[in-house]
Structure 1
Amino acid sequence: MSDHRHKRLVALARIVTAHPGTQLSLTDLSRELSVAKSTLSEDLLLIKDALESHGLGYIDSQVGAAGGVTFRPALDVGRIRTHLKHFVEELTNPDRMTPDGFLYVTDLLFSPERIDVMGSLLAERFRPIGVDYVATVETRGIPLALACARALMVDMVLMRRDNRLSEGSSLSINYLSGSSRRVQSMSLARRAPVRGGRILFVDDFMQAGGTARAAQDLLGDFGAHVVGVGVLVAMRAPKKKLVDDYSAILEWDRDGEGPGVVAPTDWVQRLVEWEDDSE
């Protein structure tokens, strides 16, 4: 294999894997790399075989006049399992309990590597239903929502706790937060591009589901449809939440004054073939 082809294969692999979920035109790739489509197809077969054999992802081909290729990254189950174990160990540490009876998770939420893994896990859960935007409410939900949006290759929409003059006219609602046990406000700029969109709402924590329900109502006022709710940690109680359906990565079962039990939820355990080391 010539040195020129080696360089072209590296460049092509970089281009394809840098745009997961996006169909790349063979015509555009051929023009960018200055190579015939027939040669490009041979290169793509080599890259496809290498990615699949190492469990890194898949390249799907679309035929026809508008044909192209789409890269689908594989879920690194081993890496996810490792980070889940770290989350469980950290969140069951008694030192993480706050005086108000909650878990301190800010450092975990703002760890780029850890939250990217959790975002990709949520993205895998909701990818089949089709999502146009990922939405969250400031502030702690931002890292997870952004990581999930990146994995889904969609934009993120941010709802504020209060109106911002810099965002112009906004629509606001008041709601009762289950975690803080007080009335809070949530607003979204009228310029937000969500009308008619399919929205995935993502947050860091859920107790009763008040924030998620408020987000559904607010986005509904914009003509958007919330097709899913995903959170990092959900409390087991109350069992009946204010939202009908949601997917949590971890479930927290509070036990008296201690940190209680934190464990991956059923769908996560099945996906990563979880083994409980405590048993």
Structure 2
Amino acid sequence: MKRSERLVAMTHYVLDQPRRLISLPFLSEKYEAAKSSISEDLAIINKMFQNEGIGHLETVSGAAGGVKYIPAFSEDFSKSFVKELCDRLEDPERILPGGYLFMSDLLGEPETVRNIGRLLASAFADKEIDAVMTVATKGIPLAYAVASYLNVPVVIVRRDPKVTEGSTVSINYVSGSTRKIQTMVLTKRSLAEGSKVCIIDDFMKAGGTINGMRSLLKEFNAEVAGIGVLAEAEDEEEDRVVDDYVSIVQIMNVDNRQPKIEIHPGNLFKN
């Protein structure tokens, strides 16, 4: 294999294995090249990743060492992408009854969802995470996007049990927006005890749903490693029950009479 061919093949392989340790002996055997040549190739790939603002290769030393691809976005691209999201969400036609915003079109765009997933995954790049959790249904595309860059499975919490999922654990929680008692369910086989979990949701007002997922994780002796949301409502901060989270955008004001929507970047760049 020519070096140019090997560089293309290795780049493709590394991109498909985010956060997974890849040993030099494995790459040397796979691409039939000396370890020194592989190391030089990885240095070139790492430089290219950083120049393109798509992450970097983390070197792990030792006998069992190798490299890990850590996905990320450059700060310039991240800010540009978030600004574009804010501009799109400020369209007055998105206003729904009750002051909610229509966002399903964004969550249906694969490229947009991938970019949001990479942004949130980058925020938790230094965390040890075993699984991504979300509640059905709108948060599912985001959860899978984040999980693909963290290279971990997705755990879906439901409002009611499914016969096909076997035995479950259920809890009652107080909805932050409606103040009603609701139920959420998680199958016992979906999450190992003691797991470190990243919670992902599409929208947060007071945070009751996320707080419910935190309570559910306690039943599995699991730990919350991070919380990420696409959009948060600013006007609910005084009643918020979740304070340690990352948001992409913040909904500052929704005026049904004007009509007018004011959207600002979330706290992603403040953390």
TM-score, scaled to structure 1? 0.87
Aligned to 2:132: 134
Provide closer, same or farther for how the CA distance between residues 79 and 267 of structure 1 changes in structure 2, counting only shifts above 3 A: closer
- Give 1:51 deviation, angstroms: 3.3
Counterpart position of 1:44: 42
> Whole-Å Cα distance in 1 between the matches of residues 163 and 193 of structure 2?
21
CA drift at 1:17? 2.5
User: Cα–Cα, structure 1 residues 149 and 184, in superposed 2: closer, same or farther, change >3 Å?
Assistant: same
Unaligned runs of 5+ in 2: none
Unaligned runs of 5+ residues in structure 1 are 272-279
1:91–1:259 CA contact under 8 A, matched in 2: no
Structure 2 CA distance for aligned equivalents of residues 246 and 12 of structure 1 = 35
Checking the alignment, whether the CA contact within 8 Å between 2:91 and 2:261 is kept in structure 1 is no
- Tell me: CA distance 1:115–1:17, structure 2 relative to 1, closer, same or farther (3 Å): same
The Cα of 1:182 is off from its aligned counterpart by 4.0
Q: Is the 8 A contact 2:7 2:45 kept in 1?
A: yes
Matches within 5 A, 1:152-191: 152-179=150-177, 182-191=180-189
- Deviations along 1:15-73, one digit per CA (max 9) or x if unpaired, are 22321221101111111112222332233233333333444432233332212122223
Alignment counterpart, residue 217 of structure 1, candidates 215, 218, 233: 215
Structure 1 range deviating more: 33-42 or 253-262: 253-262
After TM superposition, give the deviation of residue 259 of structure 1 in Å. Answer: 4.2
Larger deviation, residues 137-146 vs 257-266: 257-266
8 A Cα contact 1:119 1:144, kept in partner? yes
RMSD: 2.1
Q: 1:208 to 1:46 in 2, by over 3 A?
A: closer
Contact 1:60 1:71 in 2 (8 A): yes
Q: How does 1:70-219 map to 2 (within 5 A)?
A: 70-179=68-177, 182-219=180-217
Contact 1:92 1:261 in 2 (8 A): yes
Against the structure 1 CA distance between its residues 211 and 57, is the aligned structure 2 distance closer, same or farther, given a 3 Å change threshold? Answer: closer
Per-residue deviation, residues 181-228 of structure 1 (Å, max 9, x unmatched): 544321000112231011111100111111011100011111111132
Distance in structure 1 (CA, Å) of the matches to 2:232 and 2:94: 16
- The 4+ residue runs of structure 1 with deviation greater than 4 A are none
Using the alignment, how far apart are the partners of 1:38 and 1:256 within structure 2? 62
The answer for the alignment partner of 1:277 in structure 2 is none
Query: How far has the Cα of 1:158 moved from its partner?
Result: 0.7
Corresponding letter in the other structure for 2:110: P
1:246 equivalenced with 2:245 (yes/no): yes
- The number of aligned residues is 268
Q: Is the 8 A contact 1:133 1:194 kept in 2?
A: no
Q: C-alpha displacement at 1:137, in angstroms?
A: 0.3
Aligned to 1:4: 2
Q: 2:230 aligns with which of 226, 229, 232?
A: 232
Structure 1 pair 49–90 and aligned structure 2 pair: CA distance change class (3 A) = closer
- The answer to whether the 8 A contact 2:249-2:266 is kept is yes
What's the TM-score once normalised by structure 2's chain length? 0.90
Percent identical: 38
1:219 corresponds to which letter in structure 2? L
Distance 1:4 1:259 in 2: 58
